[in-house]
Amino acid sequence: MQGKIAFEEHIAIQETLEQTRAFAGDSAQQHQFNRRILDVGDERLEIMDRTGIEFAILSLNAPGIQAVLDTRRAIDLAKKANDHMAAAVARHPERFGAFAALPMQDPDAAAQELRRCVEQLGFKGAMVNGFTQKDDPDSAIYYDLPQYRGFWAQVADLDVPFYLHPRMQIPAQARNYERHPWLMSAPWGFAVETSIHSLRLCGSGLFDDFPTLKICIGHLGENIPFGLWRLDARMRFSPRGYRGRRPLGDYFREHFHVTTSGNFNDPAFRCTLEVLGRDKVYFSADYPFEQMQDAADWYDSSTVISEQDRLQIGRRNAVRLFRLDLD
């Protein structure tokens, strides 16, 4: 399919490049991976052309700003990354958009940077790489906490999507992975971390306070669609601490938008589509951690996607969500 839109597509700047080392393989693969994640020009565009991706929204690699302990440095680095992405968009406005990287160490500064990026730079929303560390390397701060309500008010006022991207849990809070570090990252831990964070948002009353919020997550919903029925069924018996006014599943279906990034699998896709409906599911690749070619080959040939749904999920939903001037 030509004209696809992808929006979990990552870049790095020199200050965040080292964070990708664990995902790149041996030295030869590391060289290629570094080249691709730093590139915001010819190579990326050539692969997009080859795979039928017309437009990509760029975002900073994980954990990015969220792993910067010093708040002042986090603010400065977020601005530098955002200015870098803005320059790439300015060079290729018909092919690239951008998500703001945000210094969530300071909710007010994060809100200000988001407003700058949306109103001055034309960004399409924000991508935040999971929980934030601040001051203490063993800290993990989640965004359902009361100090982030002002930040969420800004997101709602700007009316842009917020993409919650995975990151690896820090060792001090990961005893359940002890002696099995392979579990902590993309194979399993990414989905665990992001799904818990997403469910915390659902259970915090956030969407009652801000009913227009739109949250994006990847990998066909980080396992939540598969477990959503049971979540609601058991919540009838154990709602202690739950602050939502409605069933959790209502919030997830209404406020969450889910991409195919890094999960190119027919049964998982079918489950997500049945739970959320075709209006809330989107194509994405997760480049360069995944390959655009793999994403496109699966998406373009999958027999569980009708041709009508292929166009809607691969393009039209994103045009609507991000108000893109492409159709």
Give catalytic residue positions. Answer: 286
Q: Where are the alpha helices (DSSP H) in 236-306?
A: 248-255, 266-276, 292-301
Chain centre distance of CA 44: 19
- Residue type (1 letter), 143: Y
| Encoded tokens for 6 | 């992808």
C-alpha 272/C-alpha 277 separation (Å) is 8
Backbone angles phi, psi at 96, to 5 degrees: -125, 145
Write the secondary structure of 14-39 as one string of H (helix), E (strand) and C (coil): HHHHHHHHHHCCCHHHHHHHHHHHHC
C-alpha 225/C-alpha 37 separation (Å) is 30
Beta strands in the chain (DSSP E): 4-11, 53-60, 96-100, 125-128, 132-134, 136-141, 162-164, 215-217, 256-259, 281-282
Give residue for tokens 């993409």. 163
C-alpha 250/C-alpha 135 separation (Å) is 36
Q: Are 69 and 137 in contact, with CB atoms under 8 Å apart?
A: yes
| DSSP code at position 118 | I
| DSSP code at position 120 | I
C-alpha 189/C-alpha 62 separation (Å) is 14
